Amino acid sequence: MATPKPPSASDRQAKIQAAQKSQGSGANKIVVATVVVVVAIIAVVGGVVWSQSQKEAATGTSTAVPAGASMGKGYPAFAGVTAAAGAPTVDLYEDFQCPVCGQFEAALGSTFQDLASQGKVKLNYHVLNFLDDKTGAKNSTPAANGAFCAAADGKFQEFHDAAFADQVAEGEDVTDDKLAAWAGTAGITGDALTTWQKCVADGTYTRYVTSVNEAAFKVPGFQGTPTVMINGEMVDLGTIGTPELLTQAIEDATT
């Protein structure tokens, strides 16, 4: 009586189909692959676009360059001084955030400036900002802007010296108050101070500084700051470590 009915052909078909479905374990490989590829492309392309915008924000769009300089080129200090015939060109690469640059300036900064103001060297400052990208701090770039905004008022040197004498630690932000304090030390006042403040707030020289930074790292053998070049030759800092050694090296380079 209770003999089970032999399964009909259509029953079999349904079972085979069900089995085939469950063999795929539910997920369609092509669908999953498409989703993964799309997500991966969005992640990479989105990442590039985001990085690019971050870079542009860090670079700025202003085409302003300080007097006597151009994009990628150093800033000629003591432009009013006529250098003696045969005086060597000295290129100084510094980053306001670099602690060794602070020590270097404390030891030799005034000697460089004396030599330049006496016309014994043609002094170019290459102010870099690579440490901002490296440390993530807003330090080198605002400080560099502060210096070149001060240059518009003829106070580059004063601001530069103030910033190194009262240097902000590597990895820490340079605040607006700190910038204002350096401007005060540099002697920027009155209308010039208002102009300076707007210049700093606008990041007027950010693009210039970034261009100088990029150019510096394309110099063969350039590793970072401080770097000194006399007549285009990179100098081992140990050989000019004291004011006497530096003065001697400059005399030797004078033709």
Partner 1 sequence: MSTEMDDATPVAVVEPPPAGRERVLDAVGLVLRLFLGAVLIYAGATKIGHPLTSQRAVQAYELLPDGLANTIGLALPFVEVVLGVLLVLGLFTRPAAIAATVLMVAFVIGISQAWARGLTIDCGCFGGGGQIGASETKYPQEIARDVVFALAGVWLWWRPRSLASLDRILFGP
Which residues are near partner 1 by CB under 8 A? 4, 7, 15-16, 19, 22-27, 29, 32-33, 36, 40, 43-44, 46-48, 51-52, 54-55, 58, 130, 133-134, 136, 210, 213, 217-218, 220-223
Residue 82: what residue type?
A: T
Residues β-bridged to residue 233: 230
CA gap 162, 149 in Å, rounded: 14
- The smaller minimum CB distance to partner 1, of residues 22 and 255, is found at 22
- The smaller minimum CB distance to partner 1, of residues 220 and 232, is found at 220
Minimum Å distance from CB 237 to partner 1?
12
- The smaller minimum CB distance to partner 1, of residues 88 and 226, is found at 226
Minimum Å distance from CB 217 to partner 1?
5
Minimum Å distance from CB 55 to partner 1?
4
Residue 88: cis peptide before it, omega within 30 degrees of 0: no
Contacts of 246 (CB under 8 A, 6+ apart): 108, 111, 112, 115, 240
Minimum Å distance from CB 8 to partner 1?
12
- The smaller minimum CB distance to partner 1, of residues 15 and 198, is found at 15
Minimum Å distance from CB 89 to partner 1?
22
Strand segments (E) across the chain: 75-76, 89-95, 122-128, 227-230, 233-234
SS3 content of the chain, % helix, strand, coil (to 5): 55, 10, 35
Minimum Å distance from CB 97 to partner 1?
14
- The smaller minimum CB distance to partner 1, of residues 70 and 217, is found at 217
- The smaller minimum CB distance to partner 1, of residues 1 and 27, is found at 27
Which residue shows structure tokens 């910033």? 163
CA gap 5, 27 in Å, rounded: 35
68 by DSSP, 3-state: which?
A: coil
Residue 76: how many CA atoms within 13 Å on its side-chain side? Answer: 13
Minimum Å distance from CB 15 to partner 1?
6
Locate 69 and state its tokens.
Answer: 């300089």
- The smaller minimum CB distance to partner 1, of residues 33 and 84, is found at 33
Check residue 230 and report its DSSP letter: E
